[in-house]
Structure 1
C-alpha cells in the first residue's frame, strides 16, 4: 500500500472557448462508463462484483465501442464505479441501507497517462484530442502562502492524479490535483533517510525523437529511422498538382472530384501517421524505455514555418497520436526545447553551426561523424535527462534519467551501460 502523504490543490482553468464542449463531452462519456459498470456490477440479489480486473475484462471492449474516450479514461470510469460498489458492499455488511451507485455529478478522473500537469498549464485528454488549459493563478509573489505555492510548486510534492470538475454557477472548470510526498508516511512522519535515498535513486530511461521535413520522418536516439517525410510530402504535392488542374477546369464535376481526392488524401495521411506512431511505440517498447521525448511543437512549427500547413498539421497530429496511444501502455510522452540540438555534438558536447550540413554531421572539435537527425535525437533525450539531473520533476518521478541508444544507455555524466548489462 502506498502510504505517502497527500494533499489536494484546486486549480482554476482557463479553457479556450472552442474546447469547452470537448470537456463536457468527456464528462458525459466518462459518467456513462461509470454508470454502465455500476449497473453491471451491482447484483444485490445474487452478488456484487468488486474486482476491478474482472470488471475491466467484461466491460472494457464494449465501453471502448460505446464511447470515444481513450483507453485510460475508460479504465478510470470502470474503476471509479467498482470503488463505489465496494463501498456499498461494506455498508451492506454492516447492516446499513444502500442502493446501486449512480453517477451524475460533473467530474472526470485523470492521471499522468491521460493528462499532463505542467508548471502553469495542464493538457487533458478528450474524445477530440487533448485540450490545453492554462492555470488561473495569483501573481507569483503572492503564491507562497497558497496551497498551489506550498505544494504544487514544491519539488517535494509530485502530481499523481486529478479530478476535473465544473462549477455551473461560476461557469468555470477546476482541476483538483492530488499531490503526494514520497518522503513522508501517511501519518505525517518523515521516512528514514536511507529509505528516502533508495527511492530517490530510481532511474528512468527515455527515447529521444527528432521529427523532420525531409529524409526520415522520425529518427530515434536508438538509431531507428521511421517513415519517409519525403514520401509524405510527395503524396501531398501530387494532390496539389491535381487540385490545381481541376481548379482550372472550374466545372461542378471537377469541384466534386477535388472534394473526393481531398478526403482520400486526408484518410490516407491519417492512416499513415497512425502506422508511424505504432512503429515508434514498438521501438520504445523494444528498447524498454519509460518515456518518449519530442521537441516542443512550437519549435517544430518554427522549423517548418516556410513549409505547408499540411506539414505543420502532420507533425502535430503525429505527436497527438503517440500521446493517445501510450495511454494504454506504461510509457509517457514529454517535450523539451531543442534549441541547438541540431548543432550540438552528442559525443563531446561542442556546439557550432558548421557541425551540421543537411543530413551530415561532423563535429568541428572531436571529428565525430554521424547522421545529423540521429545526432539531434540523442541530444533531445540528453537534454531531458539534464533537466532531471538538475532537479526538475520528471513525468516518471525519478531522481535520475538516462537516454536510450542503439547499443545501451548513456547518463548525462557520460556513463555508458551496454545492452548486455541492462535489465
Structure 2
C-alpha cells in the first residue's frame, strides 16, 4: 500500500497544474511511477488514473467556489481492476502485489441469499475496479460490479456516438476528439531492433541466435506495453465522450501505408485487438470502415484532392482553406464514414453522431456542444509529442 500511495503522489505531483484526464496524466507520469516505485505496469497505470481522478475532483470543487490544494494520498487503500484481481468460484480472490500474486479467502456472509451473492453468482454482472482497504489489522475488499446495458438501454450502431481513430507512424493513434498518441519512440525502437536483428542474423552463430531470441523477446514485451497503454487511452477517450462505437480504418490496407514496416503493421493489428476486447468489456463496439481517401478528403467541406495534403503532417483544403493536423482530419473522416454507413443501412433510421472534442456533429451538420464546454472545434490542436505513447 505504501508503494501505491507513493505512485499516486508521484503522478499527482507531475500532473498538478498541467492536466487532469487519464489519457494525459498516464503518459506524463507512467515512466516515473514505474521507475520510483515497485508497482507493476498495470498498477502504475491505475495510480496515474487515481491521480487524474483526484485532480479532477479538485477542479470540480474549485469551480464551485471552494478552496482546494494539491491532493495527498495517506489512506491505506489500493485500487484493483480485472487485470490485477481475479475472483474464483471457490470464494477466493487472486490479487497482484509488488512481488507476486497472492490468493486469499473471501469472508462472505454465511447465508446464501446475502446481497453479495446476487452479484457474485450472476452472469449479468461483471467485476470492474475494486478497492482493498486495511483497517485494524484486517483487509476489506470493496468489489464493484457492472451490468451491461440490455437491448432497450443500449444505443445501436445506427443510433449512437462514434469515435473515429486514425493509425499512423508519426502518431500511433489520433481520435476524432483530438487525442494524440505519439508514435515517435515506438518507430525509433522498432528500427533499432530491426538493425540489431539484421546484424545478428548475418553472424549466424549459436550465440548470435540466442541473443536474437532475447532481443526479439525484449522487443515484444516493450511494444505490447506501449500498445497496452495506448489502447487504454483510446478506450478511456471513448468512455469520456460516452461513445457507443469506436471506428478504425480497414486494417487490410495498412500494408500500403508509406513508412509502415512489418513491425508497424503488426503493432496496428495488435492495438486494434486490444482496443476491441477492452472496449467490448465496457459495452462499446469496435468496427472497421473503408479507408479510401480518408487522408485526402476535407472533413469540413468534403472536397477530396491530392493537393489537400500540403505536407505529411499538415492538411490544408484547397477549396475551403480549412487547416488541420492530417491525422486528426483523417480520424474525423473515419468516424463520419461509419456514421454515414449507419444512415445508409437497411433500417435507414440512423441517428448517430461523430464525437469531436467540442461536441458531436451529424452528417447533416447538426452540432451539439459538449457539456464540459471544450473550446471550439477549430481550436483543436495536437498535444506535444510524448516520450512514451499512451493517450
C-alpha separation between the residues in 1 aligned to 2:232 and 2:122? 24
With over 3 angstroms needed to count, the CA separation of the structure-2 counterparts of 1:340 and 1:52, relative to structure 1, is farther
1:278 aligned to 219, 227, 232, which one?
A: 232
CA positional deviation for 1:392: 4.8
RMSD: 3.9
C-alpha separation between the residues in 2 aligned to 1:335 and 1:293? 6
In the other structure, the counterpart of 1:373 is 327
The structure whose residues are more often strand, as a share, is 1
CA positional deviation for 1:359: 1.3
With over 3 angstroms needed to count, the CA separation of the structure-2 counterparts of 1:393 and 1:377, relative to structure 1, is farther
Paired residues of 1:203 and 1:401 also in contact (CA < 8 A): yes
| 1:204 and 2:160 matched | yes
| 1:217 and 2:283 matched | no
With over 3 angstroms needed to count, the CA separation of the structure-2 counterparts of 1:307 and 1:289, relative to structure 1, is closer
| 1:53 and 2:119 matched | yes
C-alpha separation between the residues in 2 aligned to 1:418 and 1:60? 33
| 1:416 and 2:367 matched | yes
TM-score after normalising by structure 2: 0.56
In the other structure, the counterpart of 1:333 is 286
Equivalent residue runs for 1:60-209 within 5 Å: 203-209=159-165
1:314 aligned to 238, 251, 267, which one?
A: 267
Q: Give CA-to-partner distance per residue, 1:269-293, whole Å, 9 cap, x none.
A: 1111111100111111112222111
In the other structure, the counterpart of 1:350 is 303
C-alpha separation between the residues in 1 aligned to 2:256 and 2:346? 26
With over 3 angstroms needed to count, the CA separation of the structure-2 counterparts of 1:246 and 1:205, relative to structure 1, is same
CA positional deviation for 1:391: 3.0
Q: Which is further off, 246-255 or 344-353?
A: 246-255
CA positional deviation for 1:363: 0.7
Q: Which runs of 5+ in 1 are unaligned?
A: 1-34, 38-44, 62-74, 80-110, 114-159, 161-179, 183-198
TM-score after normalising by structure 1: 0.52
Paired residues of 1:206 and 1:291 also in contact (CA < 8 A): yes
CA positional deviation for 1:312: 1.4
